[in-house]
Amino acid sequence: MSMKTIGLAAIVAVVFGAGGYLAGVEIAGRGPSAAVAEKAVAEYLAANPALLKPAEPAPAPAADAASADAEIAKVEGIVRTFLAANPDLLKSAEPAATPVPAAPAADAGLSNAQITEVEGIVRTYLVANPEIIRDAMMELQRKQDEAERADQVKAIADNRDALFNSARQVVLGNPKGDVTLIEFFDYNCGYCKRAHADMLQLLDEDKDLRIVLKEFPVLGEGSVQAAQVSIAVRLVAPEKSAEFFNALLDEKGQINGAKALALAEELGIDRAKLDEAMKTDEVKATIEESYDLANKLSLTGTPSYVTAQEVVVGAVGYDALKEKRAPARAAWATTSCWVAGGAASLLAPPPAPKRASPRRPDPL
């Protein structure tokens, strides 16, 4: 069997069987399926009988070695290129309940020894060049991230009114600003607390910035209680909402309902009215609306920064937020937006408010 035939057979084994082999070795610690590799090689060679023609007479030893090295290099390049372009092959698949029997080697003109030789080439090459697995998996991750970003951009457009114009939100900065920042946050999120200074700096430097706050309690019952008090503050004393938000986010230690209520009283807000407001359906509906939006945007934590083009998770810092804000303002005429903060979003002036119908979100 010529090196050309072996090389081509190796490519076939990698293309049709190496996905499972690689996933088995790198992901689950399993070995390759010889039956799958044999069947793939057999079917390919059966469909391409010309490959089984007798090899040309062997050249002189030195030339034969050089030719073999060239063919191996060619095979390596094809394998690497193919796997990088088709990373889905590296996804591990559920094993079949009953293994598919390999096609008889004789039908394809391959002996058991030749099949073993092909398998050895594939195995040896992949063990010697494990970076192929890394490159292919990186490409797979890139494609998945790209698809997720596209879904998030669509979700922002589909939920524009609820994101930018809901009555269930607090607005900081310039209510008529030419660019809007929406922040999803949790009062117990350490990264939200760290990012708070960045937001205040943006507000101080940009007098045309409008910031919208979305309650997104994801860190336990204490966070939910604090969010309920915060919403009650908005209902009872909306003029105190900004002061309450800034003060509670600056509080040290674990935040809960009792701590939030104590702070509200310190700010002069009537405790009895707060208690009554917290019993209303509006409090629950506000939190559910935020959960629903976060679910649609695939936000899994706080802070998360979302633009018309992307979602950025984490406290990325003042410089990054400022950089993302500029293109949003430049695209003002086309009503582009940016989102930031726990999860925030900047947008050109919004249309008339339209309340979204709340529903219970899917579990996050």
C-alpha torsion angle, residues 162, 167, 171, 177 (rounded to 10): 70
Nearest to 237 by CA among 266, 197, 199: 266
Task: Measure the CA–CA gap between 46 and 320, rounded to whole angstroms.
Answer: 58
Residue 253 neighbours by CB under 8 Å, 6+ apart: none
164-176 pLDDT, tens digit per residue, is: 889 999 999 999 8
- Specify the pairing of strand 311-313 against strand 337-339: unpaired
Q: Output the pLDDT for position 91.
A: 53
Q: In the predicted model, what is the mean pLDDT of residues 84-91?
A: 60
> Is residue 306 within 8 Å of residue 255, measured between CB atoms?
no
91-149 pLDDT, tens digit per residue, is: 544 444 444 444 444 445 678 888 888 888 888 888 888 888 888 888 988 998 888 88
Residue 30 neighbours by CB under 8 Å, 6+ apart: 24
Task: Measure the CA–CA gap between 188 and 226, rounded to whole angstroms.
Answer: 9
Q: Output the pLDDT for position 19.
A: 43
Q: Give whichever of 2-11, 75-84, 96-105, 120-129 has the largest mean pLDDT.
A: 120-129
Q: Output the pLDDT for position 136.
A: 85
Lowest mean pLDDT among 89-93, 239-243, 354-358: 354-358
**166 alpha carbon, distance to own chain's centre:** 26
Nearest to 339 by CA among 352, 321, 361: 321
Does residue 16 register a pLDDT over 60?
A: no
pLDDT band at 85 (very low <50, low <70, confident <90, very high): low
Q: In the predicted model, what is the mean pLDDT of residues 80-84?
A: 64
**Choice between 82 and 254, residue whose per-residue pLDDT is larger:** 254
Biggest CA-to-CA distance, the chain: 99
Does residue 283 register a pLDDT over 80?
A: yes
Nearest to 80 by CA among 120, 46, 125, 32: 125
C-alpha torsion angle, residues 342, 212, 350, 176 (rounded to 10): -140
Q: Output the pLDDT for position 18.
A: 42
Mean of per-residue pLDDT scores for the chain:
73
Q: Give whichever of 29-33, 93-97, 108-112, 293-297 has the largest mean pLDDT.
A: 293-297
Nearest to 84 by CA among 174, 36, 14, 154: 14
Q: Output the pLDDT for position 73.
A: 65
Q: Output the pLDDT for position 149.
A: 82
**Structural domains in the chain plus CATH codes:** 3-138 (no CATH), 159-347 (3.40.30.10)
323-341 pLDDT, tens digit per residue, is: 887 766 665 444 434 444 4
Q: Output the pLDDT for position 100.
A: 44
346 forms beta bridges with: 338
**Choice between 342 and 363, residue whose per-residue pLDDT is larger:** 342
Q: Output the pLDDT for position 47.
A: 62
In 86-220, alpha helices (H): 105-108, 112-128, 131-158, 160-164, 190-205
Residues of the chain above pLDDT 90, percent: 35
Alpha-carbon distances of 199 from 19, 35, 157, 168, 317, rounded to whole Å: 47, 60, 24, 20, 9
Q: Output the pLDDT for position 109.
A: 62
Q: Give whichever of 28-37, 62-71, 197-206, 348-357 has the largest mean pLDDT.
A: 197-206
Lowest mean pLDDT among 4-13, 190-199, 227-236: 4-13
